[in-house]
A = this chain, B = another copy of it.
Amino acid sequence: MDLHDLTRQLHVKNNSKIVLYVADGLGGLPQTPGGLTELETARTPNLDALAQLGILGSSIPVLPGIAPGSGPGHLGLFGYDPLQYVIGRGALEATGIGFELQEGDVAIRANFCTLDSAGNISDRRASRIASDKAAAIVTKLRAVAIPGVEVFVEPVKEHRFVIVLRGAGLFGNVRDTDPQRTGIPPLDPVAVDRESARTVEMASEFFRQARKILATEQQANCLTLRGFSGKPNLPSYEDVYGLKAAAIAVYPMYKGLARLVGMDIVGKAQTLDEQMTLLEQNWSKYDFFFIHFKYTDSTGEDGDFAAKVKRTEEFDAAVPRIMALKPDVLVVTGDHSTPSMLKSHSWHPVPTLLYAPNCRTDGCQKFGESECLRGGLGQFEAKYLMTLALANAGRLGKYGA
């Protein structure tokens, strides 16, 4: 029996409200061993007050030592085992730009590349062509027409773009055409199983037409196809938890991930203030709210300790607007750590706070990595956060008699 078999069987409905307030990349490292992390340096009076009323712990996004990308990181927070549910690279890229995949679509990450006069790849990333130039070329590729299949071509960033094939009988088990080195031509797409043969035909036809269109380009005179994948088959929040859920995010990637588990995407906020306003406006309409704050991750990726501290304080400052709504359960955490010292996602456990009236407090006084080590939630895999939230909301019945 997996976790969702259990929650499907045990969940009950009530009028409680659960908020999952996520600071992307929240966990950090001190600038010198033994010092304070970004979160511990930040002035976070609201989160510290909640730490005293709530229960703390350290969340392990996937497994000890494993640094997750945004996909697995959020799946874990949403209660979906990130090793069981895998979002293909093409599907994640499409999700990241807000493309709404449908059942049966095949999404492909495409790269512009440069071929030399002999037809061999001289630059796998077309010299990282500028995003605006690439977008213009992507527009030209929309002229590709394949009978029986709807084709979408969408720019992402620099040399990267997304192709989505929509039609009957398409499956995503197809090998990459990027040979991962220069000096040879792109590979042909090859089907890994018989079901994916038709996808290979369509991808080959796309490639043929696209090469003609790109023939006159200097940098981006060819393309490679990678990460063929279908829409991931994730059960919905309604199905597994009985929750009507809303996502309030700024960036397309996180809206997309939330959509994959059946959350409604609410509004078009550009700032945390606007996100809080949306939360207030939609409070009566949903059981569960996922609020995503990006900048603790992006400042960490930039290696900017001070900026991450500041963004953490901004994240803290919005807490009173959430608490004014009197949520039954508030979970504050991140999808992974992004220490400024490492300028990247990392494997370090993520500080986590769960506030609920009957959470059993643990004597912790502040919200930070060291204090979380002494917290009542201990160290736990992120995938258990949702069962803890549901239980604290009175939304899980007893297992067995």
A184 on interface, CB distance cutoff 8 Å: no
Do B6 and A396 touch across chains, with their CB atoms under 8 A apart? no
11 interchain pairs (CB within 8 A)? A1-B86, A3-B63, A30-B360, A33-B361, A64-B380, A64-B384, A67-B399, A73-B400, A82-B400, A339-B358, A341-B358
Do B71 and A388 touch across chains, with their CB atoms under 8 A apart? no
Do A391 and B347 touch across chains, with their CB atoms under 8 A apart? yes
A33 and chain B: residue at smallest CB distance: B361
Q: Which of the candidate stretches A139-147, A266-274, A370-378 sits at the interface with the other chain?
A: A370-378
Interface string of A127-142 (1 = CB under 8 A from B): 0000000000000000
Do A66 and B399 touch across chains, with their CB atoms under 8 A apart? yes
Do B400 and A58 touch across chains, with their CB atoms under 8 A apart? no
Do A68 and B400 touch across chains, with their CB atoms under 8 A apart? yes
Do B71 and A400 touch across chains, with their CB atoms under 8 A apart? yes
Counted per complex, copies of this chain come to 2
A390 on interface, CB distance cutoff 8 Å: yes
Q: Which residues from B are CB-within-8-Å of A1?
A: 83-84, 86
A260 on interface, CB distance cutoff 8 Å: no
Docked Cα-Cα span, A384 to B1, in Å, equals 19
Interface string of A335-376 (1 = CB under 8 A from B): 000010110111111000000011011110000011001111
Docked Cα-Cα span, A240 to B34, in Å, equals 33
A363 and chain B: residue at smallest CB distance: B370
Do A71 and B347 touch across chains, with their CB atoms under 8 A apart? no
A122 on interface, CB distance cutoff 8 Å: no
A29 on interface, CB distance cutoff 8 Å: yes
Q: Which residues from B are CB-within-8-Å of A86?
A: 1, 400
Q: Which residues from B are CB-within-8-Å of A71?
A: 400-401
Do B399 and A92 touch across chains, with their CB atoms under 8 A apart? no
A69 on interface, CB distance cutoff 8 Å: yes
Contacts of A185-232 to chain B: CB distance below 8 A: none
A387 on interface, CB distance cutoff 8 Å: yes
A71 and chain B: residue at smallest CB distance: B400
Q: Which of B344, B348, B378, B400 contacts A360 (CB 8 A)?
A: B348
A370 and chain B: residue at smallest CB distance: B363
Docked Cα-Cα span, A31 to B52, in Å, equals 16
Do A67 and B378 touch across chains, with their CB atoms under 8 A apart? no
Main secondary structure of the interface of A (DSSP, over half): loop
- Given A29-B360, A92-B401, A339-B358: A64 touches B373 (CB 8 Å cut-off): no
A65 on interface, CB distance cutoff 8 Å: yes
Interface string of A56-92 (1 = CB under 8 A from B): 0010001111111111110000000011101101001
A389 and chain B: residue at smallest CB distance: B65
A53 on interface, CB distance cutoff 8 Å: yes
Given A67-B396, A70-B401, A92-B400, 18 other A-B contacts at CB below 8 A?
A6-B83, A29-B358, A29-B360, A30-B360, A30-B361, A37-B360, A64-B384, A64-B388, A65-B386, A65-B391, A65-B396, A66-B387, A67-B398, A69-B399, A69-B400, A71-B400, A93-B401, A346-B391
Do A89 and B33 touch across chains, with their CB atoms under 8 A apart? no
Do B373 and A362 touch across chains, with their CB atoms under 8 A apart? yes
Q: Which residues from B are CB-within-8-Å of A361?
A: 30, 33-34
Docked Cα-Cα span, A143 to B345, in Å, equals 63
Contacts of A16-59 to chain B: CB distance below 8 A: 29-30, 33-34, 37, 52-53, 58
Q: What 5 A-B pairs come out closest when comparing CB atoms?
A: A65-B387, A64-B384, A69-B400, A378-B379, A65-B391
A380 and chain B: residue at smallest CB distance: B64
Q: How far is the CB of A371 from chain B (nearest CB, A)?
A: 11
